[in-house]
Structure 1
Amino acid sequence: MILGGTAEARALAAELTVRGLHVVSSLAGRVTNPRLPVGEVREGGFGGPEGLARYLADERIDALVDATHPFAARMTASAASAARATGVPLLVLRRPGWREGQDDRWLRVPSLEEAAARLPRPSRVFLTTGRRSLPVFTGLDGVWLLARSVDPPEPPVPDNAYVLLDRGPYTVAGERALIREHRLDVLVTKDSGGAMTTAKLVAARELGLPVIMVDRPPTPPGVLLVDSVADAAAWAQG
């Protein structure tokens, strides 16, 4: 079973299906109109690690791959707990994180709260940390937010924020134009990695914008971790 609706999860489902394995992909159901993988798809939560453990046992799952978003720490913790309880082998698949280049102006921080605290005042912020993070950045004096997300945040939207609904992949030219149109002077993002949303980092570098980069949460201890679909497919096939 593959947990997650990421591009890596979809690619892994496709590869394992080609290899003749039966694949069940589990999506949390938090994104409207998600891109679906090939094979069997299950949508919705499990009810915590105990519910996931019951599902693994009831469905006689042979192997579990956590290919969720790098910041889905709660789901990864549940997967690790359920795997320990059932003895089902677990692999975590995470795309590589982004690396700072020579001309980048990055500040790495451990949390969204620290990112909000380190914002310059006044500032016009390009916020790409997801709709659920918006409350962390509200009510900050002198801060205006262009908050981009796939789905709308829960109302009410704060007065200091404009929500832009959009889904990647993005282009450098498009990100550059967006930054200039809204006169943005700092980018706040998570270290999600991957090529789909890297254009904003290139545009920020070209325009000299500082970037506040939120580091990934740690992987649970003792969990096997790979960063490529090929390695995950080889592990799953045994």
Structure 2
Amino acid sequence: MSPHVLILGGTTEARALAARLAARPGVRVTTSLAGRVTRPAAIEGDVRVGGFGGADGLAAWLREHQVDAVVDATHPFAARITANAARAAAATGVPAVVLRRPGWRPGPGDRWHPAASLTEAAALLPPLGRRVLLTTGRLGLAAFADLPGLYVLARSVEPPEPPLPHGTEILLARGPFTVAGERALLREHRIDVLVTKDSGGAATSAKLTAARELGLPVVVVRRPPPPEGVTVVPDVLQALAALPLPGPAAEPHPG
């Protein structure tokens, strides 16, 4: 029987991995999406949308669909999904790999203020600035809702969930972004502090360069650590190498 790989997706790396596996003869790949984005990009192989019902539900799905390996390639802040995947893999004996792009690192001239959570990020804001570009996604903005006297420009791919800070302006946009575009955005809205999660990757890192060039402080929410005992790899090639699949990896077909 062909080996079956389940990818817990939603990231650029997950799509790239699905393409590599789908191009590999004799390998079946299924990508699972949480369903939070209404118009996901095209993905090679089979796609399912929706949750599994926790770790026990995922374990049952792995058994029912005879999955041979799991790759958790969700967002670095999807801690609950990662924990459930680790528990389900341990319960079923299915090999599991966590694919996490490396986090960002501050460089010369950066004015970064690390925070352990969105709540801690909100607490850091008042002394740093009053006009905020908030790029932490559509969830969790309630942490900033009780801060008075702030202008908040909240950028996300999908409309953010309430409650929102009073007077929030919503900007719906999807990366990748350019440094010139981010610099213009910061100047147009007279932003004096940026708040972001340490998502890593190049698609949304231009805002950090723009903030550095303009001398703006940046509140960076640290990503949660992965569960103990899981194999963590930084890119698609290392994820492929870690999977228990026969034969060499194949390049995806051009399209």
Distance in 1, matches of 2:104 and 2:241, equals 25
Larger deviation, residues 139-148 vs 47-56: 139-148
Aligned to 2:199: 192
Aligned positions, number: 238
Aligned to 1:34: 40
Aligned to 2:20: 15
Question: How far is the alpha carbon of 1:51 from its aligned partner?
Answer: 0.6
Structure 2 gaps, min length 5: 1-5, 247-255
After superposition, the C-alpha distances for 1:146-181 in whole angstroms (9 at most, x for unaligned) are 000101123564433111011111111111111001
Question: How far is the alpha carbon of 1:19 from its aligned partner?
Answer: 2.0
1:204 aligns with 2:207: no
Aligned to 2:252: none
- In the superposition, the TM-score normalised over structure 1's length comes to 0.97
1:225 aligns with 2:232: yes
Summarize the alignment of residues 30-179 of structure 1 with structure 2, pairs less than 5 Å apart. 30-121=36-127, 123-155=130-162, 157-179=164-186
Distance in 1, matches of 2:133 and 2:161, equals 19
User: Which amino acid letter does the alignment assign opposite residue 24 of structure 1?
Assistant: T
Change (3 A) 1:155 1:99: closer
Distance in 2, matches of 1:206 and 1:157, equals 29
Distance in 2, matches of 1:130 and 1:231, equals 28
After superposition, the C-alpha distances for 1:199-223 in whole angstroms (9 at most, x for unaligned) are 1001001000000000010100000
Distance in 2, matches of 1:65 and 1:155, equals 32
User: Which amino acid letter does the alignment assign opposite residue 103 of structure 2?
Assistant: G
Question: How far is the alpha carbon of 1:43 from its aligned partner?
Answer: 0.6
Aligned to 2:188: 181
After superposition, the C-alpha distances for 1:9-46 in whole angstroms (9 at most, x for unaligned) are 00001111222221000000011101131000011111
Secondary structure in structure 2 of the residue aligned to 1:76: helix
Distance in 2, matches of 1:186 and 1:58, equals 49
Secondary structure in structure 2 of the residue aligned to 1:218: coil
User: Which amino acid letter does the alignment assign opposite residue 49 of structure 1?
Assistant: A
Secondary structure in structure 2 of the residue aligned to 1:140: coil
Secondary structure in structure 2 of the residue aligned to 1:126: strand
Distance in 2, matches of 1:59 and 1:226, equals 25
Secondary structure in structure 1 of the residue aligned to 2:74: coil
Aligned alpha-carbon RMSD (Å):
1.2
Secondary structure in structure 1 of the residue aligned to 2:139: helix
User: Which amino acid letter does the alignment assign opposite residue 224 of structure 2?
Assistant: P
Secondary structure in structure 2 of the residue aligned to 1:107: strand
After superposition, the C-alpha distances for 1:76-112 in whole angstroms (9 at most, x for unaligned) are 0000010111111110000010010011110111111
Distance in 1, matches of 2:167 and 2:56, equals 41
Secondary structure in structure 2 of the residue aligned to 1:41: strand
Structure 1 gaps, min length 5: none
1:2 aligns with 2:11: no
